[in-house]
Amino acid sequence: MKKILLLAVWSVALFAGCQKADFDTNVNGEALGTFTLNAPATNAAIMLNAATPTAKVEITWAPSKPGVDAVPTYKWIAALKTAGNLDAPLLEITSDNEGKDSKLTLTHKQLDDALKGKGVADGARADLIWSVRADNGTTKQVATEVRNISITRMKDGATAFILLGPASSGTVNAIDPNSTTQTMKFNWTKSQPAAGGSVKYKLLFAERKLDGQGNVIAVDWTKPLIAIDADNNGADSLASITYKAISDSLTKKGFTNTELPVDLLWTTVAVSGTWNQYADYVNQTVILREIKVYIVGSATPSDWTIENASRMIPDPRFPGTFFTYVTLKAGEFKFVNGQQWPPAPGIIDWGQDPAAPAGTITDNGENNIAVSTPGIYRITFDYSNKKYYLQTAGSGGVGGLGIVGAFQQPSTWNPGANVRMGNLAPNKMLVLQDMTTNDEFKFHDGNEWDNGANNKSRWFGPETEGGTKIIVDGGGAKNLKWTGATGRVRVIFDGTDVKNITYSLTPATEMRVVGNGMSAYPEWNPGGSPQMTYIGNGKWQITLALIQDKEIKFLAGNDWGAFDYEDAGNGKIKYEGGDNFKVTKPTGTYTITLDEQNGTVTIL
C-alpha cells in the first residue's frame, strides 16, 4: 500500500515537472470576486443639513466580479461603531438601480429618516462602521475593508452661499489705521435657514501662509485669527469695518509693525442654531496700515493751512519713522496724521511734550515745536518711540540733502564734503554739479556713512539699474550714473510722491530766455534766443531789453524739448508745466537772475 501511494506521489511530481501549469484566473460558477470601497474615505464626517433636504450623499465602491450567470446586487451596511462588527447591521440599504449599481445615492432627508427610524435623536451624531455586501443569490461577499463614518442627524441648517466682494486679490489695500470714518466693506449672498430657523453671519480672517513648495496652507476656520459680526448684529450679509477697527484687531493679534503688509484670507460663516455653514469660497486680501504724517505751522511752506500741509516720507528701514526735507522759516509747527484738525474723526496732532526733554512728542497737552533759525532742514518723526529730530546741514552735519560720488575732488565718495542741494519745495531738491561721463553718485543727507539709526545719515540710489525710482539705501547699493557729456549736470530729487521717489539728470551747460517779451530777439525762437551766464551756486544771469505785458520763459537748450521753467507765482519757478512769465515792469532794460537751486527768479 505504501508503495502504491509513493508511486502516485512520484507520478504527480513527474507530471508537474514536465507540464507547464495553466490556471484560469476567471471566476467560474456562481462565486463572487473580492471588491474594494471607494468613497467616502474612512473617518468621514457627514452633517445632514435641514435646509437642504435634497442634497445628495454618494457612496461608491468597485464592483465585485460576478460568476457565470448571476449578476450580484449590493447593499450598503452600517453598524454602530460600539458594536464592532457588521454581523447585525443597524442599516441595510439597497444600492442604486435596484441594487445593480456599485453606488448608493441618498438625499440628506433619506439618510436622516433612516437614522431616525433606528432611534438616533434629532441633531445627534451616530458613529458608525460601514461596508458593502454583494449577493448573487448563492454567495454573499463583503468588501475587503470596513470604514468609519460619523453622520449627524438634521436639526438646524443653512443653504450654501458665496462671497461677493472684495474680490480675491494680492494687491495691497492701503488703509489709514487711525480713521474711524473710512471703512472696508465685505459682502456675500444670503444663506437660507431651515424652516423655522434664522441666520446670523460672522466675517472670519486668517493669515495666508505658504508651505515650502509655495502652496497655501489650509486654514482651520473653526479657529480663525479674527472673527467679526456682520452688520445689524450679524443679521446682514454685509460687514462694514472701520480702518481703525481693522488695524486695532491686527495689532492685538501680534501684527504690530504697521509698515508691513498683512496677507490675509477671509470668508464668512452663516450660523443657524447649532449649524455652521461656511461660504463656498475663500478670498485673499492684503492690508497695509498706511500711517500718514504731515507737518503744518507758521514755520512751514503751507503755514497753518492744514489742507496744504506737506506729507512726510516713510522710512522702510525703521518702521514708524517718517522724514522730510523742507525749508523752514522762523516760527513753529506740529505733526498731524491727516489734512484736517482734531476733533475730526481719527485725526491726531503731536507736538513737544512740555513735561519731557526737547525732541519728545505727545498728543496730550502738547506745545508747538519752535524753529528759531530759518534754513533747509531734515525733520524726522519717530512715531514708535515718540521722538522727533530737527537737523540742518548748516554746520556740516546731518540735514537737508546732497550728493556724494566720483565727481568729488580731490577725495571722491566723501560724505564729509557732501555737495548740498537747494530745496524747491518739500521733498524736492536740486543742484547743478560738474560731472564727467559715467560718474556715479548717491543722494546723501549726512556727513558720514553711518546710517544705523533713524537720526543718522540716509542715502538713496535707484531701485533697479537704470530705473528712475529711488529708494533708501539704493536697492543693493546701486548708484546713480551720469551717462551724458562731461559738463554741468542738473540733478533733481523728487519726493513729492512719498511712495514713488524719483530723480532726473539733465544737461545744465546753458540756459536761454525765450519768448515774445524781448525787443532785440526773434519771438519764441530757441536757437535765436540769448544765453544767460552761469554765475555759480545754481544761478544764471542776463541783462535784456524787455517789453511790458509780453511773455518769457527759460529753456536749458537751443531747441524745444529741452528742460524748461515756467511761472509758479510770487517769484517762484517750476518745471512741471504751466504759464509763461509775464513782463509786468514797464518796457526797458533789466537784469534777470534765475536761481535754480532756490527756485526763484528776479527782474531788477
Collapsing DSSP to helix, strand or coil, 224 comes out as coil
The span from the CA of 553 to the CA of 534, in Å, is 17
Query: How many domains, the chain?
Result: 5
- 15 domain residue, yes or no: no
Domain end marker among 289, 320, 343: 289
485 contacts: CB under 8 Å, gap ≥ 6? 437, 507
Can you give the pLDDT at residue 6? 31
Q: Are residues 257 and 321 in the same domain?
A: no
Question: How confident is the chain (604 residues) per 10-residue block, as mean pLDDT?
Answer: 33 36 44 92 95 96 81 95 90 96 97 96 95 93 95 95 96 87 95 95 97 94 97 98 95 89 97 96 94 96 97 90 96 95 88 97 96 96 93 81 95 93 96 97 94 93 87 76 97 95 97 97 98 97 98 97 96 94 97 97 97
Residue 434 sits in a domain whose CATH number is 2.60.40.3620
Please name the residue ranges forming H helices in 329-370.
none
CATH code: domain of residue 258: 2.60.40
- The confidence score (pLDDT) of residue 83 equals 83
Does any domain span residue 529?
A: yes
Cβ neighbours, 10 Å, residue 75: 19
Amino acid at residue number 323? F
182 and 275 in a single domain? The answer is: yes
**Helix, strand, coil distribution of the chain in percent, nearest 5:** 10, 40, 50
| Residue-range definition of the domain harbouring residue 348 | 294-394
Same domain? For 120 and 236 the reply is no
pTM of the model: 0.69
Q: Say whether both 435 and 497 belong to one domain.
A: yes
| Biggest distance spanned by C-alpha atoms of the chain | 151
Q: Give the span between the Cα atoms of 164 and 237, in whole angstroms.
A: 10
Residue 240 lies in a domain: yes
**pLDDT of the residue at 346:** 79
Residue 27 belongs to some domain of the structure: no
Q: Which of 262, 289, 316 is the last residue of a domain?
A: 289
Hey, what's the cell of 419?
555737495
Q: How far apart are CA 333 and CA 328, in angstroms?
A: 9
Q: Please identify, among 394, 425, 457, the residue that sits at the C-terminal boundary of a domain.
A: 394
Q: State how far Cα 485 lies from the chain centre.
A: 42
Q: What pLDDT does 30 receive?
A: 63
Whether 317 and 308 have beta carbons less than 8 Å apart is answered as: no
